[in-house]
Amino acid sequence: MTATRRRFLGLSAAAAGLALLPGCSGRGPSAAAPPAPGALRLTAAPMRVDLAGHEIPTWGYGTLPGPEIRLRAGDVLRVELDNALPEDTTIHWHGLAPPNRMDGVPRVTQDPVVPGGRFTYEFTTPVPGSFMYHAHVGMQLDRGLYGPLVVEPRSEELSYDREHVLMLDDWRDGVDAHGGHGPAPGPDAGPGAAPGADEDPGDAVSFGGRSYPLLLVNGRPPEDAPVLTTRPGDRLRLRVMNIAADTGFRFAVAGHRLTVTHTDGMPVEPVTVEALRLGMGERYDVLVECDQAGGVWQIGVQAEGRTGWGRALLRYDGSEASSPPAVAERPAELDGRLASYADLLAREPLPLPSGEPDRRFELELSGTQIGGQSYPDADPLPVAEGEWVRISMRNTSAKWHPMHLHGHHFQVLTPTGRGPVKDTVTVPARGGEVTFDFLATNPGDWLFHCHNHHHMEDGMVRLVRYG
Ligand SMILES: [Cu+2]
């Protein structure tokens, strides 16, 4: 996930006429035919990963994270999914807006892919940005079934020297029984726990209540942190992605500031801050001016509202003699200025007409319900094709909820009137309110849900339905 690899991929992609990674055979069914020309094969299968010297079993797409998919705006994404798991699976393309039948939601947009089965996803990707793919069956995302998906613009406006993708995850798979990784998981304090068990003191920002012993950056625990390299004077582009099931993150780089250029892949006017807060499913692209003379710098990832620590390292070339910061060394920048939605101005606002929305929904987020209902015993939110739709949410629960709409980009309503265009927006707890608008231009049944997967499994889902 470095620029070196990107250049390599760019070359191989040019040869193949498609900017996709070569097929990843993983440990899939050996009898399967090779993928069609230009297709990437992803095999969902049991696998083992090394977490700082401890090998644990999980499920994944061959590597952790899964192979990076990188293509250019207007390309066709063509992925053959082979299911070598003992249960059904699908892939959802988080942040993309494919035709409904390619959205990867079992029993809503497609039949689940049964064990031993195959499904080919194929659609064009006109919109550039930083996206993710992940399984969308039960709690499979909580294992290793995820990876980054980058759509590059046909011509890049930003100027930078190197690029790195950072996927932030909370992890417990195979660790609970291992005993070698930090504290044992505590009692489950999720939405199913006794009333009051998940109440946070004061103004704590908590996105979830389950116990996760490890935080991983690109599949690696803090004792075995990934190292990003740079040179003095270089400008880095970081694509920071929260793929966790139950954890919001604070993110900062010691000794450096972050200039936000995109949120959820969509461009914003640059804003320079010291830290990011990412709900589950959210992504930020930032530029980092590497204006230090050298050294090794902590890239800190802190769980919001509870203990939990992950990290990566930023190493300047020529600093081989420098020792890295201690594992737990916490960048002061984590307490600095955050990028708020109100700070962000869309560079490409949605083409909303003048006047008022055609349709409005006002939905309370309470516990793990949306508008007082729990999926699947929940009414679809009916819209009509072509409408301008406004959804207003008020969160009266004790948890922050990152709400994700499939199949659309929406525009967050902020005082500037030009709020960021996103696909996942975090609604603060205890009275927090967020409103967004979207254009109903992609008919189908689309999930609108909390991206805390425990909350989703608990029914924090509605369908937006039209066409
Ligand atoms: Cu939630």
Domains and CATH numbers, the chain: 3-152 (2.60.40.420), 162-339 (2.60.40.420), 359-466 (2.60.40.420)
CA of 59 to the centre of ligand 1 (A): 24
- pLDDT at residue 175, rounded to an integer: 85
Question: Which contacts qualify for 202-206: CB closer than 8 Å, 24 or more apart?
Answer: 204/305, 205/248, 205/277, 205/304, 205/305, 205/400, 205/428, 205/429, 206/248, 206/304, 206/305, 206/306, 206/398, 206/399, 206/400, 206/429
CA of 100 to the centre of ligand 1 (A): 24
Whether the bond between 46 and the residue before it is cis, its omega within 30 degrees of 0, is no
Contact assessment for residue 315 and residue 229, using Cβ atoms and an 8 Å cutoff: yes
CA of 207 to the centre of ligand 1 (A): 7
Reply yes or no on whether the pLDDT at 179 is more than 80.
Answer: no
- DSSP 3-state assignment of 260? strand
Reply yes or no on whether the pLDDT at 15 is more than 90.
Answer: no
pLDDT interval class at 138 (50, 70, 90): confident
129 — phi, psi (to 5°)? 155, 180
Reply yes or no on whether the pLDDT at 4 is more than 90.
Answer: no
- pLDDT at residue 2, rounded to an integer: 46
CA of 402 to the centre of ligand 1 (A): 6
pLDDT interval class at 304 (50, 70, 90): very high
- pLDDT at residue 204, rounded to an integer: 79
In degrees, to the nearest 5, what angle opens at C-alpha 58 toward C-alphas 9 and 284? 50
CA of 54 to the centre of ligand 1 (A): 31
CA of 363 to the centre of ligand 1 (A): 14
Question: Which residues are within 5 Å of ligand 1 (an ion), measured at CB?
Answer: 401, 450, 452, 455
Do the strands 381-382 and 461-466 form a parallel or antiparallel pair, or are they unpaired? Answer: parallel
CA of 29 to the centre of ligand 1 (A): 36
CA of 254 to the centre of ligand 1 (A): 30
Q: What is the mean pLDDT of the chain?
A: 88
What is the H or E stretch that residue 445 is in? strand 444-450
pLDDT interval class at 7 (50, 70, 90): very low
261 — phi, psi (to 5°)? -115, -20
Reply yes or no on whether the pLDDT at 223 is more than 60.
Answer: yes
CA of 369 to the centre of ligand 1 (A): 9
CA of 370 to the centre of ligand 1 (A): 10
- pLDDT at residue 119, rounded to an integer: 97
- pLDDT at residue 211, rounded to an integer: 85
- pLDDT at residue 320, rounded to an integer: 86
Segment 152-166 mean pLDDT: 96
pLDDT interval class at 203 (50, 70, 90): low
Reply yes or no on whether the pLDDT at 354 is more than 80.
Answer: yes
pLDDT interval class at 287 (50, 70, 90): very high
Reply yes or no on whether the pLDDT at 185 is more than 60.
Answer: no
**CA pair distance 241, 283, nearest whole angstrom:** 4
Question: Nearest Cα to 421, choosing from 341, 327, 302, 364?
Answer: 341
CA of 449 to the centre of ligand 1 (A): 8
Contact assessment for residue 227 and residue 316, using Cβ atoms and an 8 Å cutoff: no
Q: What is the pLDDT of residues 46-62, one digit of tens each?
A: 999 999 999 999 999 99
Contact assessment for residue 425 and residue 438, using Cβ atoms and an 8 Å cutoff: no
- pLDDT at residue 37, rounded to an integer: 62
Query: How do the residues of the chain divide into helix, strand and coil, expressed in percent and rounded to 5?
Result: 5, 40, 50
- pLDDT at residue 36, rounded to an integer: 59
* pTM attached to this predicted model: 0.89
